Amino acid sequence: MKHSHIVGLGSYLPERVMTNHDLERMVDTSDTWIRERTGIERRHIIAEDQCTSDMAAEAARRALDDAGLDISAVDALMVATTTPDKIFPATATIVQAKLGGHGFPAWDIQAVCSGFVYGLAQADAMIRAGLFRRVLLVGAEAMSRIVDWSDRSTCVLFGDGAGAVLLEGRAQPGGVLGSVLHADGSYRDLLKADHPHPPASPDRKALDFGRDAAGIAAIEMRGNEVFRVAVTKLGEVVNEILQQHQLRKEDVDWLVPHQANIRIIQATAKKLGLSMDRVAQTVREHGNTSSASVPMALDALYRAGRLRQGQLLLLEAFAGGFAWGANLVRWSKQGETG
């Protein structure tokens, strides 16, 4: 049986930086309030002439370069995103073209902030089944384009970016050990961004539809309720995946969580009994980048030279839907960071 090993990593953040002090001039908030409640100090904002596929393609190029391979070595491409370039085609097909790839399957995953965790489980299953040898998995988001910048409760939280990993099937044990995924749609209204409704009839002009759409696709969140459920469900999924693999909390070397809020990250680390110096923490630098945050946090650990052969990594995320999940990874990547 093949095992899915991470052989390349890459990430990308847009050049423009928006600090908490910038937000102080936009809405009724403060740097102190944001830092104390979220841990965020700045976020990166996509340029007007960029789109999600541009960020995804750059992160993917860096992952391929890190692996010493090019796009011709890839058998499948998956992009986890909540902010696709278009309704269709899939952003993954656009990324494929920008990378110069042809012929192999490419598709999107929509599980919001859990998209990368869901995607890693899916890619691992396909590699284990022998369907693909190498899968390029990207999480990429332009969250700033669905933020209501007049809503001080949500606009401080989100930023843009992309992270990618190249997975390769190998005979030797290690790599992705397994995954646990969950969802519960009964919570769907606690965290959402509504899509504009279609025209009521064929007689309604497309121009009217466009006007109606303005400002509708914006994030809405009932923060306190989301926080309570997130902490509970993440604690449960951590226990579940460790029990499935007959591992103890003490066996975890690194927690690589979704970078949404420092308080949620701290609560999950506490349940694991992990000190915060064993937790990937990048939320301060880029805020909540949805499906991009887990691969970017993983890449940050890797680039800092903090990962060692044989270490056990626990990746986890919680998202609107609600959707949540976790992956266990036995670190096996060889070589120096690029």
Catalytic residue positions? 113, 258, 288
Contact 329, 307 (CB under 8 A): no
| DSSP string of 290-334, one letter each residue | GGGHHHHHHHHHHHTT---TT-EEEEEEEETTTEEEEEEEE----
What are 308-314's contacts with CB under 8 Å, separation 24+? Answer: 308/253, 309/334, 310/174, 311/253, 311/254, 312/247, 312/251, 312/252, 312/253, 312/254, 313/252, 313/253, 313/254, 313/255, 313/256, 314/238, 314/241, 314/242, 314/252, 314/254, 314/255, 314/256, 314/272
DSSP 8-state code for residue 158:
B
Task: Say which residues have a Cβ less than 8 Å from residue 79's Cβ, sequence separation at least 6.
Answer: 53, 56, 90, 91, 92, 95, 106, 107, 108, 109, 138, 139, 140
